[in-house]
Structure 1
Amino acid sequence: MASHAHDATDDVVTASPRGRRDDTARRAHAGPMSSSGSLLGSPRLTLSAAIALAFFLAVIIIPTTFPSGAASVLMGIGLSIGGGLSITRPVAGGVLIGLVLTVAILDPLSSPGLGVLVPPIALAACAGEGRLLPGIVIGLWHTTVITVAAERTMNTTADLVTNALVWIFMLTVAYLLGALWRSMILRLATERARHAFDLAEQRRAIARDLHDTGVRAITEVILLAETAQHADGVSAADAEAFARISRTARLSTDELRSLMDALRTDVPVDGSTDPTAYGVTVHAASWDDALQAARDRLQAADFTVNLSSESDAPVPPSATPVLSRCLWEVVANVIRHADDEYPVAIMSAAMSDGVELLVRNTIDHDPVVRVDGGDGLRGLGEQLEAVGGSLETQRDGDTFLTRIQLPTDTGR
């Protein structure tokens, strides 16, 4: 009994607010990219943007290279690819663009056409990713190549200097725009991290309140019920009633602890959402407790319950939460759809390789009642499939059978 009714103080894991705040700040200032290095945060979005940009540049650039021959067309294709690559790999994209532009010096007959407008994209991307030194080197490389290539068409030195200054200005503006983008993303990430930290602190405060009030109170109920159950002069019926109170209170305690664990879970700073990340798992301290709690719940709803449990091997704690959640949903389905004039059979068999649960009930003759297995059972089947289990339902006349199988190694 002590293992179930202990004070929950030792369940609370504490961490200093400063430490959590510092960790949140480090994640927020890691940069505007995701953990995979994506400039736009999402790898899929970044790849889509890169492909779309490369295609757009190809449509704009390649037609302008047709008059200069096949070499110029290939140059236009290379510049289009380099522009798109700059979104995912700014330095690699800038290097590819520099190499393609260098061909314009080696082959006087070739021309990049409108491809000369691609270098600012690579430089802006470098600045957006915080690659300062590579961005400067790539910018100087592109400016030098474009200036040398333009010397063939410039009539005077003044025109050549003017052209170089224009390109320096364009690349500088591109770099500043990229740096501004990075600054905006960092500021948004910092605000989001601060908001996430505040929400996490509120959840932890709620968890502490639940521990100080709810868990302590229910623990006292368990102690009182189990003490009264074994007191002298208590009848068998009263002892069973106290045992039922104890089992229900233990189940509630475990659910509260599960809730506190969920409340103490930090919200991901990267904004990712997981529908099961903060879900509360309905579970009991053991599989036997879960079966007894299910019987108590059905009896409270005026059902007669025949409970049978066989065990060749103990049900591991890792499988108990999944099984308890399944049993809880099946019991709720029985209460909604079954006829309480007939008994409900719950049969559990625990083996070395898994657990099998059978629940048999009689369908209510009320025509309003649907017995096709609603969203709850469908969702339950999906959850079981995710951990290698299965859910089967079968109707034979007025008898409805629910069969659940779960391997004991659920990986949880």
Structure 2
Amino acid sequence: MLGDVIASLTARARAALRRPPTPLTNQRIYVVIGVLVGLGNIASNYVINGMPRPIDLIFMVVALVLLALIPLRPIPGTAAYLACWTMLLLLPTTDPADMTVTNLAFLFFLGRFFSAWPAFSLFLIMLFIQLVLVATAGASSGDIANALGAMWFTALVGALLVPLGALVRFIEASRLTEAEQADANLEEMRLEIAREMHDLVAYSMSQTALRAQRAAADLSYPARARDEFTALEATASDALHELRLLLRTLRQPSSEKEQPISMATGLGSVVTDLKTAVSAITADVSSAGFDITYRHLGEASPNRLQASTLSRVAREMGANIIRHGDPDAPATMTLSLGPDVIRLVATNGIRDTSAHLPRSGTGILGMRERLATIGGTLTTLSDEGTWMVTATVPVVEPRTAPLPPKEES
């Protein structure tokens, strides 16, 4: 069993080291780390050796810039840093200690931004550069001993920092995978809720509306009872209309949603995209079996209160089309945005021309009351079997500062 545990841990460690680096969403954090380490490198050299020479200060500043570049562009940043490190070792007038502190962050970045084998290969290249320069320098034994000590120090800290960077990369990748899995689970849960609501709630509500409609048309019931059935059928149809809008949005993948549910369907008290809200309502009318055409004209922008009110009015228009319209006759819904007014017009055929025309009941009265609160109006018109409802709201001009009076000459 101990052998199985060791083998399992070894396999997981090997998989972690071989996992490719994931795209970062927090590059700024590592850029800040690179800058802070570069500044710390300059400060430590100043404290230990006093004011650095211009050539040393140049290498320190270049190392700072390249270290901050690595999180943004790992490959060119790493290549440039190794080239800077090599030049520092080649020039006889420079001190290799000028990049000691930045080398620590560089080794950590190798593990963080590269997979296992490229990271350790770059680390070995760094050690090989030091070894070759020590072997070909021809310096005194004391200088060679110092160079070998620096190389062993680099090897020791690299053996610690490169795996540490790989571990951080593995932890971040694991957290990202867990977050993606959680999002996938929520997506599946959302679709399951939509399916259950469609199969159970929407079906039951449709049956309620249908039975209430049949009961309202049954002359064996008293007139008062038939009026109650009519009100029940209207309430159920409105609720079913809202439910269909919600289900339409729930079934839409999250990656394709441009607005939240309240903006896409007209639900909620705040709607900012009136075009999308009206489009969703016409789509629901179309799914109910009507041949409806939606058009929007103009580019005027309603304020939040106007957009919310008009979306509610459009919802009531759509519900009236489903409730009273003739599915065999074409229907339209047109949204005109500006330049002076915002106008929403709905037309549909009347289901039974022998019956009474739609009258200003609670639905139309409610639309008029909503529009009146924002200075709008509602008009209705019936003509040769066609019913038309028009909602009009004045465009609110943005406030501008008054011009200063002209000075008299």
TM-score normalised by structure 2 residue count: 0.54
Contact 1:32 1:185 in 2 (8 A): no
3-state SS in 2 of match to 1:356: strand
User: Letter of the aligned partner of 1:57 in structure 2?
Assistant: G
Cα distance in structure 2, aligned partners of 1:196 and 1:181? 23
3-state SS in 1 of match to 2:70: helix
Cα 1:64–1:154 change in 2 (3 A) is: farther
After superposition, the C-alpha distances for 1:387-412 in whole angstroms (9 at most, x for unaligned) are xxxxx669xxxxxx993769xxxxxx
Deviation at 1:80? 0.5
Residue pairs, 1:101-250, within 5 angstroms: 101-111=85-95, 113-147=97-131, 155=142, 160-228=147-215, 245-250=232-237
Contact 2:296 2:336 in 1 (8 A): no
Q: Which residue of 2 aligns with 1:378?
A: none
User: Letter of the aligned partner of 1:254 in structure 2?
Assistant: H
3-state SS in 2 of match to 1:155: helix
Contact 1:128 1:182 in 2 (8 A): yes
Q: Is it true that 1:58 corresponds to 2:35 in the alignment?
A: no
Q: Is it true that 1:403 corresponds to 2:393 in the alignment?
A: yes
Q: Which residue of 2 aligns with 1:326?
A: 309
Question: Bigger radius of gyration, 1 or 2?
Answer: 2
Contact 1:61 1:76 in 2 (8 A): yes
Query: C-alpha root-mean-square deviation of aligned residues, in Å?
Result: 5.0
Contact 1:93 1:122 in 2 (8 A): no
Residue pairs, 1:226-375, within 5 angstroms: 226-228=213-215, 245-264=232-251, 276=260, 281=265, 282=267, 315-316=294-295, 325-327=308-310, 350=334, 355-356=342-343
Gaps of 5+ in 1: 1-28, 291-312, 332-348, 364-372, 374-391, 395-400, 407-412
Cα 1:245–1:325 change in 2 (3 A) is: farther
Contact 2:107 2:123 in 1 (8 A): yes
Cα distance in structure 2, aligned partners of 1:208 and 1:30? 37
After superposition, the C-alpha distances for 1:43-85 in whole angstroms (9 at most, x for unaligned) are xxx2254145325513532673775532221111110111111
The percent of aligned pairs where both chains have the same amino acid is 18
Q: Which residue of 2 aligns with 1:26?
A: none
After superposition, the C-alpha distances for 1:130-182 in whole angstroms (9 at most, x for unaligned) are 43444234323332344556665762766544432321222222210011112
Deviation at 1:351? 5.7
Residue pairs, 1:383-402, within 5 angstroms: none
3-state SS in 2 of match to 1:88: coil
Q: Which residue of 1 aligns with 2:56?
A: 72
Cα distance in structure 2, aligned partners of 1:153 and 1:98? 26
3-state SS in 2 of match to 1:50: helix
After superposition, the C-alpha distances for 1:236-257 in whole angstroms (9 at most, x for unaligned) are 9987766654444333223223
Deviation at 1:214? 0.7
Cα distance in structure 2, aligned partners of 1:117 and 1:146? 16
Contact 1:53 1:84 in 2 (8 A): yes
Cα 1:49–1:146 change in 2 (3 A) is: same
Residue pairs, 1:83-94, within 5 angstroms: 83-94=67-78
Contact 1:262 1:278 in 2 (8 A): no
Q: Which residue of 2 aligns with 1:346?
A: none
Q: Which residue of 1 aligns with 2:84?
A: 100
Contact 1:222 1:249 in 2 (8 A): yes
User: Letter of the aligned partner of 2:28 in structure 1?
Assistant: L
Gaps of 5+ in 2: 1-17, 268-276, 286-291, 298-304, 315-332, 345-366, 377-390, 397-409
Cα 1:156–1:68 change in 2 (3 A) is: closer
Contact 1:263 1:278 in 2 (8 A): no
Cα distance in structure 2, aligned partners of 1:31 and 1:274? 31
The alignment covers a number of residue pairs equal to 292
Contact 1:228 1:239 in 2 (8 A): yes
Q: Which residue of 1 aligns with 2:13?
A: none
Cα 1:142–1:31 change in 2 (3 A) is: closer
User: Letter of the aligned partner of 1:109 in structure 2?
Assistant: T
Cα 1:61–1:141 change in 2 (3 A) is: farther
TM-score normalised by structure 1 residue count: 0.54
Cα distance in structure 2, aligned partners of 1:362 and 1:276? 24
Contact 1:62 1:76 in 2 (8 A): no
User: Letter of the aligned partner of 2:55 in structure 1?
Assistant: A
Contact 1:219 1:249 in 2 (8 A): yes
Cα 1:162–1:93 change in 2 (3 A) is: same
Contact 2:309 2:370 in 1 (8 A): no
User: Letter of the aligned partner of 1:139 in structure 2?
Assistant: F
Cα distance in structure 1, aligned partners of 2:20 and 2:186? 22
Q: More displaced, 73-82 or 257-266? A: 257-266
After superposition, the C-alpha distances for 1:176-222 in whole angstroms (9 at most, x for unaligned) are 00111122123323333443344334333322221221100111123
After superposition, the C-alpha distances for 1:60-118 in whole angstroms (9 at most, x for unaligned) are 32673775532221111110111111222222222121111122234211235442332
